[in-house]
Amino acid sequence: MDETDEATFEELAFRLAMRAFGDTVAPSDAPNTVESIAKRGISRAARLYNEQQLLARVPPELLCMIFSLLAIDDRISVTFVSHRWRTISLNHGSLWAEINTADSMDFMNWQLQHSGSAPLRITAEPLRASDVDRVDLVAANMGRAQTLAVRARSDVLSRVLLSPASLLERLNITGVARAVLSHELFTNGVRWPALRELSVINTHFPHDLAFVQLLVMFPALESLEYTLYTLAEGGKDAILTSSITTYVPRLLSVSFIGMTGQLAAVLPHLRTVRDIEIRNHGPADDEGLLPLLPGLIARDEDDHVVNALITWEEVRVRFDRSMRICYAPGDEDICWILGQESFFGHLTTLALVSELPPNPFPLAPVLRTLILLDATLAEWVKYRFTWRTPALEVLCVGRHPDNMEDGQDIAHIDRHRLCSVLQSVFGFSADRRLPSLVIRNAVLEDGSVVGQPVLEDLVQTLDVIQDREWDPWASIVTPSM
């Protein structure tokens, strides 16, 4: 009998003994004695069994990495799986370092006890002044905080943010009821030396301080998200007047939300930042039309546009080494960018849905993939110019899944209209055929016009694909037509 069989036999014997003594009139201490022996036997059998399983051979470090991917409730369940898992998980403080003020005080204190000295990841959304114990707990542990997401009014923000936090690397602040950052935050220069990511939303900046006084508080900052339209009225130097990297030299990405005029004023000072995102909330009542894209895509001459997506909702431009995104662009922005020769000079992939420019598209000498997110092709049929795209290899025509009602609204493409566009706009013919035509989330209607070329005369390969998970931008940055 090997060790496994012996353990199984012991377990069975002790279980039978326990059942027998449960129905006996033996002295009261006898069942307890046997029960104790039985439990030890069962525990030993279980331990021997577990040690022979594959998971028992997984190193503790790897197990903790796996546990860290679980939700907090599942991590607690892990502690009941086996003695080994319980010991490993409870001894790994980082697993219990995610503090959420929506949980009970008892549970948060339990987490603080078992997290040891591990850096804390705190979520306090919302954090109310009436929750005194929770506010005090967050403030008291800011010295251990590595990340903090807080949504609160001014008084609570002050109570929490004024606490020393030398380890803080990521901070998300969302103001409630026109919250204003405390003036005291800006009195001691560098406050968060390790901070790399900062998001300040719906939170006002003190009106008598310069915006750069916010920036100097975190010299290691790499990512900034800020709501410009919440800068207090009459703010001193509310908009930048020099390059933002003068104050935060490591800054790699920024996201600004604001009115058109505010965004237009700040963009010239962001040119040295690698990635920029702006969310346009439209012009103020006293503002005229201010194009944003000229300032947004201004880059060094050796950093060229390679991919782009242009729609009414957003413009995404990917350079060799950087990225630019504009949400809610104006009509003047779309018109401007579609007429820029420098924009099309190195462009290799473009997804487009918009009104076409009144003048010819500039030459696109290296454009290889074009995605037209207008299955009707109505604008293209009326276009009176030829677009020179000598390197075009793939033309994709179809509908974005987001524009399909319940995923069932499949567009119908007229073959004759498509042939007309291929010939008149792109110059394809039986002698110069398009290498690849892809129809996505649409179907080609049957029929042709007598005496006119059929689609198969103009393209080498034709694919019709229904894909409700299709993401045009993802297909641009990681091509897989």
The average confidence (pLDDT) of the chain is 84
Res. 169: pLDDT tops 90: yes
Res. 25: pLDDT tops 60: no
CB 318 within 8 A of CB 358: no
Question: For the segment 370-392, what is each residue's pLDDT rounded down to a tens digit?
Answer: 999 887 888 898 898 999 999 99
Residue ranges of domains in the chain: 3-52, 339-481
Q: Closest Cα partner for 402 from 357, 334, 353?
A: 353
Least confident of 226-230, 277-281, 442-446: 226-230
Read out DSSP for 24-69? --S-THHHHHHHHHHHHHHHHHHHHHHHTSGGGGS-HHHHHHHHTT
SS3 sequence of 233-299:
CCCCCCCCCCCHHHCCCCCCEEEEEECHHHHHHHHHHCCCCCEEEEEECCCCCCCCCCCCHHHHCCC
Contacts of 418 (CB under 8 A, 6+ apart): 377, 397, 444, 455
CB 106 within 8 A of CB 133: no
Place 237 in a pLDDT band, splitting at 50, 70 and 90. Answer: very low
CB 346 within 8 A of CB 305: yes
Helix (H) or strand (E) holding 350: strand 349-352
Q: What pLDDT, on a 0 to 100 scale, did the predictor assign at position 234?
A: 43
Question: For the segment 453-473, what is each residue's pLDDT rounded down to a tens digit?
Answer: 688 889 999 999 888 888 888
Rounded-to-integer distance, Cα 385 and Cα 168, Å: 57
Rounded-to-integer distance, Cα 423 and Cα 39, Å: 84
Res. 28: pLDDT tops 60: no
Place 480 in a pLDDT band, splitting at 50, 70 and 90. Answer: very low
CA atoms lying within 13 Å on the CB side of residue 72: 15
Residue given tokens 């051979």 in the structure block = 57
Contacts of 476 (CB under 8 A, 6+ apart): 307, 308, 309, 318, 349, 351, 369, 371
Coil vs helix vs strand at 18: helix
Place 13 in a pLDDT band, splitting at 50, 70 and 90. Answer: low
Q: What pTM did the predictor assign?
A: 0.81
CB 415 within 8 A of CB 444: yes
Rounded-to-integer distance, Cα 284 and Cα 264, Å: 12
